[in-house]
């Protein structure tokens, strides 16, 4: 016989997961309303705010991300941060459950993946305690700094290991929601840009 409290927790967790799936679908539909050129144009003021964020300016070791086509465009910004003398790190997904961090020093540290996206191939980085700032992409963020990712938990697991770092959520305004359902595995960010 299954414990009734455990059964209720499973029910709530399943309900949250169903709601998250629907929210991801809604955000994908919103993104489809924009062309690639429009998304890049919408990215410019977001990146400008990011560029001048005091926590980023003060940080030496920063984890950014090399944007996917539907994310706030970061490719040029990542190179700009290298030129500014930052120790730049980029995540790469290596399995269904794991993401690792690679050092980025320039275009030579990127290679085309089997999914036809550029992925970092630079030196493996494992000193998570030295990361001072993390730009965190997401499908959505809410007014309470909760994040909705793509559903695999990569960032949630990683963010648990980097409590000392300032975590800044990055997304388009049309991705922001009043509230996102969460569970005990979800990690908040410190601020949403």
Encode pLDDT of 110-139 as tens digits.
Answer: 888 766 778 899 999 999 999 999 999 998
Spatial CB neighbours of 5, under 8 Å, sequence gap ≥ 6: none
- Mean pLDDT over 55-84 rounds to 95
71 labelled as ligand-binding? yes
Mean pLDDT for the chain overall: 87
Binned at pLDDT 50, 70 and 90, residue 98 comes out as confident
pLDDT tens track for 160-174: 999 999 999 999 998
Which own/partner contact pairs does 31-35 have at CB distance under 8 Å and 24+ positions apart?
31/70, 31/172, 31/174, 31/175
pLDDT at 16: 46
123 labelled as ligand-binding? no
85 labelled as ligand-binding? no
pLDDT at 9: 45
pTM of the entire structure? 0.85
149 labelled as ligand-binding? yes
How far is it, in rounded angstroms, from Cα 55 to Cα 50? 9
150 labelled as ligand-binding? yes
Spatial CB neighbours of 74, under 8 Å, sequence gap ≥ 6: 43, 47, 64, 65, 66, 67, 135, 170
154 labelled as ligand-binding? yes
* Domains in the chain with CATH codes: 4-192 (3.40.50.10420)
122 labelled as ligand-binding? no
Q: Is the pLDDT of residue 3 over 70?
A: no
148 labelled as ligand-binding? yes
28 labelled as ligand-binding? no
Beta-bridge partner residues of 140: 148
Closest CA to 170 of 147, 189, 193: 193
């Amino acid at each position: 016989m299954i414990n009734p409290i455990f059964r209720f927790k499973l029910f709530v967790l399943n309900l949250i997961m169903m709601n998250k799936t629907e929210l991801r679908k809604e955000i994908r539909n919103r993104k489809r309303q924009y062309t690639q050129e429009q998304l890049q144009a919408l990215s410019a003021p977001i990146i400008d705010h990011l560029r001048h964020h005091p926590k980023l300016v003060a940080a030496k070791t920063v984890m950014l991300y090399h944007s996917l086509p539907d994310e706030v465009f970061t490719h040029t910004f990542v190179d700009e941060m290298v030129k500014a003398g930052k120790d730049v790190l980029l995540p790469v997904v290596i399995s269904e459950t794991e993401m690792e961090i690679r050092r980025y020093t320039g275009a030579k540290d990127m290679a085309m993946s089997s999914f036809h996206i550029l992925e970092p191939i630079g030196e493996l980085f494992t000193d998570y305690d030295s990361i001072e700032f993390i730009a965190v992409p997401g499908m959505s963020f809410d007014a309470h700094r909760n994040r909705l990712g793509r559903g695999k938990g990569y960032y949630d697991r990683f963010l648990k290991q980097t409590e000392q770092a300032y975590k800044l959520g990055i997304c388009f305004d049309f991705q922001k929601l009043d509230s996102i359902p969460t569970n005990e595995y979800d990690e908040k960010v410190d601020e949403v840009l």
